[in-house]
Structure 1
Amino acid sequence: MKDKAQIAGINIFPVKSTSGIAQSRAWVGLEGLSFDRRFVVTDLAGRMMTARKFPKMVTIKSTLLADGIVLSAPGMNNLHLATCDFERDEFECKIWNDRFFAYTTTEKANAWFTEVIGSDAQLLFCGEESNRFREKLGTRVSFADAYPLLVISQGSLDELNRRASHPQTMSQFRTNIVVDGVEPFAEDGWERIAIGEVEFKVGTTCQRCVLTSVDPETGAKMANQEPTATLSTFRADEKGAIFFGMNLVALNEGVIEVGDELRVLETRNPVRYADADA
């Protein structure tokens, strides 16, 4: 470690695949940060729709209210959704290979997302708690891809940018927790950590997809096939899959905040990747 490891950023993404909200303090539940990935856009068969196929989704912004959420998108009127108006009918959805029941919101929301995306869509939400229990993890997970949380160090992004053709941003990687004061990819060697009131089990390294190459401000593709082009030179396995960031599972509930010290409780032998630039 260079200095004291501490939390430099906390981010939630209320609607899967849309823009995030930076927070100074957050409640960590067993299924992730409060309000994180509590909504998902699906097709009419319940299959998730994401910015991998509909990149303009990243330009949709959320504002949390006491009674619901306001959604904004370029060229659209704001959508104000009050949770008391939700239909709350069970609807089976599919997140990768997981099938579970979520709940319907409103026809107004469905029409709004259909217009923004340009394809028939509906907005579902988790309810008071997710019905998606991942036996492999031993915990509930919201509409996140696989794990409840993701951590990346600022040092890792700095090292990527030292090699990349032009600067990349942390928001491209949709991380929940940003850590400063550690060496690049220090997180690869963590097994169990503590932040504020919460202990976390560190899961697998996060495999990255085409979504990281979508500009979070415009929804356009990043130039020069970044960051995939650079990550593939020093963060790829023998099959060509690239990895950046570590998945987390909370072992208890509690509050974390920016400035909290990150304490490494247990370590592991990190995965080693071939470095084409070495």
Structure 2
Amino acid sequence: MTPNLSAINLFPLKSGAPLPQQQATVEPRGLVGDRRWMVVDAGGKFVTGRELSRLTLVRATPDGNALQLAAPGMPALHVAAPDPRGARIDTAVWGADVTPLLADAAAHAWLSTFLGADLRLVHMDDACTRRLKAKYDGRYGRDEDVVSFADGFPLLLISQAALDALNAKLAQPVPMLRFRPNLVVAGSAPHAEDGWRCIRIGGIEFEVAKPCTRCVFTTVDFERGERDSAGEPLRTLTTYRRTPDGVTFGQNLIPRGGGTLRIGDAVEVLS
């Protein structure tokens, strides 16, 4: 059986709720609309579901360059696209500097109320670039490679078989979205992606850059906005997916072209 693309997911807000898609457009920094918005604290430090697990309950839906926010018990909020001439803030994502635009005061207040902390919403517009090499010092990718507010790379891919193998070891299975992949591949062996170096999906080539190392965020149930009391699935992953670089699950991708991905597209392993 030829592997195929079985799911596509957008995460418009870093650590926010997932938005499953039937198709998506690929650009150099990842899927269009993926992780272009982020929450920062009053000091400008980026905030994720590692610190505030309820952030996974915030559903951010792109509306052109604007955003619609929704969360349990909160009124829906339309966030206008910040003026490119507006205020920017100096921040960083895992040591990689970036200077996004600040959203309006209403967005800051909405997030602060729901999450119970003094927070700001920022936006990565076209003029805001984050270089991939700033984090990885040339070990992966090319000098011109860029990335969104994602932790490290433009896209994340996981095989369905890898999740099935994990769930066979767990007392309580977890959904694929616990791992927040952009792309899910069906029809391969478990962790087949670990051996891929270059793939093509829907006519678009991707460099398979490095395994995705996993942290406590995998223990957050994104539908409840709470951590798993038993520390799963990370606890079980440490028993068979530990490497010198950490616990790995899935592979990070760098696009080497652009175009549209669709559910059902064949996944060709080029090397």
Amino acid at match of 1:214: V
For 1:265, the aligned partner's letter is: L
**Residue in structure 2 matched with residue 83 of structure 1 by the alignment:** 81
1-structure distance, mates of 2:82, 2:116: 27
1:131 Cα offset (Å):
1.5
Alignment of 1:100-139 (within 5 A): 100-135=98-133, 136=138, 137-138=141-142, 139=145
> Would the aligned equivalents of 1:57 and 1:117 in 2 still touch at CA under 8 Å?
yes
Match of 2:156 in 1: 150
SS at match of 1:90: coil
- Cα deviations by residue, 1:89-131 (Å, 9 ceiling, x for unpaired): 2211111111121111101111111111111110001112541
- Percent of pairs identical after alignment? 37
| Pair 1:216-2:214 in alignment | no
Worse-superposed segment, 79-88 or 176-185 = 79-88
Residues 82 and 102, structure 2, Cα contact 8 Å, conserved in 1: no
Take 2:86 and 2:146, find their aligned partners in 1: how far apart are those partners?
A: 19
**Deviation above 4 Å: which 4+ runs of structure 1?**
84-87
**What letter is aligned with 1:82?**
A
1:203 is aligned to 209
1:12 matched residue in structure 2 = 10
Deviations 1:5-62 (A, max 9, x none): 0000000100001101011111000100000000000012221011101000001112
Q: Are 2:169 and 1:163 equivalent residues in the alignment?
A: yes
Aligned amino acid, residue 60 of structure 2 = S
Total equivalences in the alignment:
263
Letter in 1 for 2:263: V
Corresponding residue number in structure 1 for 2:259 = 254
User: Which of 45, 51, 58 matches 2:49?
Assistant: 51
Distance 1:129 1:187, change over 3 A: farther
Paired with 2:170 and 2:219, the residues of 1 have a C-alpha distance of 13
Cα pair 1:7 1:180 within 8 Å, conserved: yes
Q: Secondary structure at the match of 2:75?
A: coil
Partner SS, residue 155 of structure 1: helix
Contact kept? 2:200, 2:268, Cα under 8 Å: yes
Confirm or deny: 8 A CA contact 1:88 1:103 kept in the other structure.
yes
Structure 1, unmatched stretches of 5+, are 267-278
**Structural RMSD (CA):** 1.5
The question of whether the paired residues in 1 share the 8 Å contact of 2:82 and 2:123 is answered with no
Q: Structure 2 length as normaliser, TM-score?
A: 0.93
Amino acid at match of 1:12: L
For 1:94 and 1:255, locate their aligned partners in 2 and report how far apart those are by CA, in whole Å.
29
Asked whether the 8 Å contact 1:203–1:246 carries over to 2, the reply is yes
SS at 1:140 equivalent: coil
Q: Note the alpha carbon deviations across 1:157-190, whole angstroms, 9 max, x for none.
A: 0000011121011111000000000000000000
Give the distance between the partners of 2:115 and 2:131, measured in 1 at CA: 29
Partner of 1:245: 250
Query: How many Å apart are 1:4 and its aligned residue?
Result: 1.2
Does the CA contact (< 8 Å) of 1:232 and 1:242 recur in 2?
A: yes
Residues in 2 aligned to 1:61 and 1:259: alpha-carbon distance in whole angstroms: 26
Query: 2:227 is paired with a residue of what secondary structure?
Result: coil
CA distance in 2, matches of 1:264, 1:78: 43
Partner residue, 1:264: 269
| Match 1:99 to one of 76, 92, 97 | 97
- SS of the equivalent of 1:63 reads strand
**Equivalent position amino acid for 2:80 in 1:** A
TM-score, length of structure 1 as denominator length: 0.91
